[in-house]
Amino acid sequence: EVQLVQSGGGLVQPGGSLRLSCVVSGFTVSSNYMNWVRLAPGKGLEWVAIVYSGGSTHHTDSVKGRFTISRDDSKNTLYLQMNSLRPEDTAVYYCARGGNRMAVAAIFDYWGQGTLVTVSS
Amino acid sequence: EIVMTQSPATLSVSPGERATLSCRASQSVSSNLAWYQQKPGQAPRLLIYGASTRATGIPARFSGSGSGTEFTLTISSLQSEDSAVYHCQQYYNWPPWTFGQGTKVEI
């Protein structure tokens, strides 16, 4: 059974840091394109970052230089390191599994349960 | 960046009725369009990909159509458990992959 179980998140002051984790089971994290997607209050879903099966990464412009997606294959875990957090980063963050090739990299068929990140003083 | 626009923002329907949700892309995305259902407090669930292919386990009352810039999600014979926000997403042009702002279906 495919499962994505998230941890991390919480309340942090502007300029602070957090690391989100997503432990996967039922497949290997390196075999698929893994993503982070967020849902801010009153807004639509927003794709945040991807790590390709080969290990390269890409981030949306609004988080470039501040957020870093990574994975640990030995722990079958996906991470999102978030630095220099801003109030506009407040959202529920989801890890999501994409396909195993570029054409379907962004068809998100399994999702974590979500974790709330609140950036406020 | 491709902008996805969904309409209406909210749709109120009665059980057993048909619901038609629209999604428009700012430029052609071919058939690279997915629909997700999100219930309160839950993660999104993949309903449709390739504009019209139902994901595994999705009931036949959910159907998708369209190509290019105009897409439709139809829910025939609505059931109470279909109350949710429905998101469309293009995966044709990246980065970034983009979503619409969502349509809330109230039953």
Chain A contact present for B98, CB below 8 A: yes
Asked whether residue B95 carries a pLDDT value surpassing 90, the answer given is no
Q: What is the pLDDT of residues A36-78, one digit of tens each?
A: 999 999 999 999 999 998 899 999 999 999 999 999 999 999 9
- Residues found in chain B: 107
Q: How confident is the model at residue A109 (pLDDT cuts 50, 70, 90)?
A: very high
- Indicate the DSSP class of residue A103: G
Instruction: Provide the pairing of β-strand A10-12 with A67-72.
Output: unpaired
Do A58 and B95 count as a contact with CB atoms less than 8 A apart?
A: yes
Q: Compare CB distances from A109 to B46, B91, B96 and report the shortest one's residue.
A: B46
| CB pair distance less than 8 Å for A108 and B102 | no
Q: Tell me which amino acid residue A121 is.
A: S
Q: Do A44 and B87 touch (CB under 8 A)?
A: yes
pLDDT digit string (tens) for B13-34?
999 999 999 999 999 999 999 9
Q: Do A61 and B44 touch (CB under 8 A)?
A: no
Asked whether the predicted pLDDT for residue B94 surpasses 90, the reply is: no
Question: For residue A104, what pLDDT band results from cuts at 50, 70 and 90?
Answer: confident
Asked whether the beta carbons of residue B98 and residue A107 sit closer than 8 angstroms, the reply is no
Tabulate helix, strand, coil % of chain A (nearest 5): 10, 50, 40
**Given the DSSP bridges, would you call strands B103-106 and B10-12 parallel, antiparallel or unpaired?**
parallel
Interface of B with A in 15-54 (CB under 8 A): 34, 36, 42-46, 49
Residue B74 has pLDDT above 80, yes or no: yes
Task: Report whether the peptide linkage leading into residue B8 is cis, meaning its omega lies within 30 degrees of zero.
Answer: yes
- Closest in A96, A109, A112 to B55, CB measured: A109
